[in-house]
Amino acid sequence: MLGIQNNLFWLVPGTAIIALGFAWFFFKQMMKNSEGTPKMAEIAAHVRKGAMAYLKQQYKIVIIVFIVLTLLFALMAYVWKVQNPWVPFAFLSGGFFSGLAGFFGMKTATYASARTANAARESLNKGLQVAFRSGAVMGLVVVGLALLDISIWYIVLNTFVKGGDPAHNMAIITTTMLTFGMGASTQALFARVGGGIFTKAADVGADLVGKVEAGIPEDDPRNPATIADNVGDNVGDVAGMGADLYESYAGSILATAALGAAAFMHDTTMQVSAVFAPMIIGAVGTLLSIIGIFAVRTKENATQKNLLSALGRGINLSSVLIMVLSFFILKILNLENYVGVWLSIVIGLITGWAIGKETEYFTSAAYKPTQNIAKQSETGPATVIINGIGTGMLSTAFPVMTIVVGTILAYLTSAGWNFENMSMGLYGIGIAAVGMLSTLGITLATDAYGPIADNAGGNAEMAGLGEEVRNRTDALDSLGNTTAATGKGFAIGSAALTALALLASYIEEIKIGLIRIGETTLIVGEKVIPTVTATLSDFMTYYNVTLMNPKVLMGMFIGAMMAFMFCGLTMNAVGRAAGAMVDEVRRQFRDIKGILTGETEPDYAACVAISTKGAQREMLLPSLLAIIAPVTVGLIFGVSGVMGLLTGGLAAGFALAIFMANSGGSWDNAKKYIESGAHGGKGSKAHEAAVIGDTVGDPFKDTSGPSLNILIKLMTMVAIVMAGLTASWSLM
């Protein structure tokens, strides 16, 4: 390691510790607040217990999957010798830290809900502070643990990977580190799929029997599924979203480091700079996020508009500062074409912002698309569904074109406007993803704020707090819905960009794999090229990764199909689990006397258990398919088939994820728009139609759509870890 870069590197573990320290500080601060009345504390305890019980069950299954996979990786590393000996450990550490982040985040969220409701009894601002700072715990734990894991592995590998020339060592270090992403991906998969099924089984079940059949309002304590519904918000939106973004965050940094190592095999100093740049930008972005978090405050008599602009102020401050500082970071690192690379970072930040705005446009009731859907409710549920699906599909155009333009520009600016300069161009795509995610500390805080505010509203409703308090929690919740929509767009967009960066680094893994199994030369056309100096183009020719190769084309067909099949499996899983919930709620209404009159408390725990069991049973098949598909395609079709699979899955999965998230989001808000008085308001025929739209949208936006984020990243991660095996053997 070298002078200035070496010193700057220590920013990364240092920031990790600072971030975790602030997370601890915010947690302690939040815990000082009172949970309010005994009733409020009791409800919160129900939700907390349910959430932890679910998490425990989920971890039990995840641990089995991890044991099996670790054994497989150990085989690959120690017996077949097609992978790095560090990989099983890197895999485990990624899964462990991601799980830890989910655990802390959810613990905090479940402690915060009653405290937020109680703080809202005092003032809106007080409520915002408690909820947002609790969300910040999640944000900082995620980035802190990711930076910690990255630092530890870099230090360990840098100590142990010796011999050979330094440039090659760096390539081994970065490609090994990349495999810890698969641990995070696997954990995220189960969190998103399991959490998504849990939350929507509870939500759909609660709505179908409670709202539609029994005619009682949402979050009514008489509904046995209402605690499960609140547990679901934590399980799906806090733990699931956190694990998803943990993976994107770590994945983008690690992929970019690997691409940087590959781009500068000829220049060790430059190589170290290129590898450190994404890590240091991540670290500095985290410090700026902490500053941004402190900037979020509003007046005591704040309106909802004030609240939104308070959150916006924090994010904007962090974003503008990272734009400025990243220029100096790159200049100090003295990276080749640092102005161009800096522009890639700026493009990444703008792309993320734009996709958030586009999502807001298509899902907020303040704009035409959602208002049109609401209007369709006058001709019944069928037209609401047709229009919601049509608009969701149409809306894919904007984020996709944004990513297309952003990616091409990020590539070109880093490549010095030369398409042939592929290694720098791909590095540019990676660092754009890093830029987009650099202030994740604060963007994730606003995301996690949403379900906390939502639960606070539920708590206030169930505890029977006064109307003024519920109006305040409603204002907080409504703000949460806006940030949730933007956050979903951001999560999808960053997943797509991260997946592109991971895809680009796949070939680096193949290269290292070939060297490991002793393939030191490649025959490309009529030339013999040493594997170690082979360029990306050489590999493309060697494996014939062109669009005329039927293996590539068929891989693409399978990839696109995977996205649809995965969605179909998760949709049907929600349907089945919700059916079980409906049966249980009906049973309780029938068998337990006095529930509907409020004399007897329903058996909340039974509903939580139903959702837990449903999620547990249903998450296994789609999850295993996502892991098995790239392995199988690799074993049959080899490298070219795998690349077809990944790109087909990415292109189709990205569009499908936007469609599902936006359709779901706009149905939700169309319903709320009608509830606010439009088209006949609550209780009208139009409202009934809109409720059906919202129910259909639930698994769209909270189960299948978000799970696709993981699918597109995970398939690439699996391919990366399996690269050594694929390089050494395939059927065709």
| 678-697 positions binding a copy of itself, by CB under 8 A | 692, 695-696
User: Encoding tokens for residue 350?
Assistant: 């703008």
Task: Quickly tell me which residue has 């995965």 as its tokens.
Answer: 566
Close Cβ partners of 618 (under 8 Å, ≥ 6 residues apart) = 197, 570, 573, 574, 576, 577
Name the segment binding a copy of itself (CB under 8 A); options: 34-42, 168-176, 314-322, 548-556. Answer: 548-556
Q: At closest approach, how far in Å is the CB of 592 from a copy of itself?
A: 21
Q: Which of residues 634-673 bind a copy of itself (CB under 8 A)?
A: 643-644, 647-648, 651-652, 654-656, 659
Residue of the chain from 17, 31, 212, 366 that contacts a copy of itself (CB under 8 A): 212
> Exposed (0-12), middle (13-18) or buried (19+): which is 609, by Cβ within 10 Å?
middle
Nearer to a copy of itself, 293 or 385 (CB): 385
> How far is it, in rounded angstroms, from Cα 478 to Cα 472?
10
Stretch that binds a copy of itself, among 33-41, 151-159, 229-237, 549-557 (CB under 8 A): 549-557
Closest CA to 635 of 523, 707, 728: 728
**Does 546 contact a copy of itself by CB under 8 A?**
yes
Point out which span in 94-102, 399-407, 439-447, 479-487 binds a copy of itself (CB under 8 A): 399-407
Which of 8, 148, 442, 545 contacts a copy of itself by CB under 8 A? Answer: 545
Nearest to 222 by CA among 457, 454, 51, 461: 461
Closest CA to 52 of 123, 111, 128, 9: 111
699 binds a copy of itself (CB under 8 A): yes
Site for a copy of itself, residues 379 to 398, rule: CB under 8 A: 379-383, 385-387, 389-397
Per-position x/- string for 226-245, each x denoting binding to a copy of itself as judged by CB under 8 A, each - no binding: --------------------
Q: How many residues interact with a copy of itself (rule CB under 8 A)?
A: 88
Question: CB of 508: closest distance to a copy of itself in angstroms?
Answer: 11
CB 245, CB 267: distance < 8 Å: no
- Secondary structure of residue 509 in the 3-state scheme: helix
Smaller CB distance to a copy of itself: residue 14 or 380?
Answer: 380
Alpha carbons 466 and 469: distance in angstroms, whole number: 6
Residues 668, 674, 679, 683: what is their CA dihedral angle, to the nearest 10 degrees? 110
Residues 328-387 that bind a copy of itself (CB under 8 A): 376, 379-383, 385-387
Ranges of H-type helices in 334-420: 338-363, 368-376, 381-395, 397-414
From residue 489 to residue 528, the character string flagging contacts with a copy of itself as x (rule: CB under 8 A) and all else as - is: -----------x--xx--x-----------------x---
Q: Is residue 727 near a copy of itself by the rule CB under 8 A?
A: no
Site for a copy of itself in 578-617 (CB under 8 A): 578-579, 582
Contact pick of 252, 407, 446, 666 for a copy of itself (by CB under 8 A): 407
Q: Which helix (H) or strand (E) element contains residue 639? A: helix 620-675
Tell me whether residue 362 or residue 673 sits nearer to a copy of itself (CB atom).
Answer: 362
Q: Which span sits near a copy of itself by CB under 8 A: 327-335, 431-439, 568-576, 710-718?
A: 568-576
**Residue 523, H or E segment:** strand 521-524
Q: CA gyration radius for the chain?
A: 25
| Angle, CA 672 vertex, CA 312 and CA 139 arms, to 5° | 35
Interface with a copy of itself, residue 557, by CB under 8 A:
yes
* 536 in Cβ contact with 643 (< 8 Å): no
For a copy of itself, the binding residue among 523, 528, 547, 731 (CB under 8 A) is 547
Is the C-alpha dihedral spanning 627, 631, 634, 637 positive or negative?
A: negative
Distance of CA 22 to the CA centre of its chain: 22
Contact range with a copy of itself by CB under 8 A, out of 230-238, 243-251, 303-311, 535-543: 535-543
Residue number, 298 or 377, with CB nearest to a copy of itself: 377
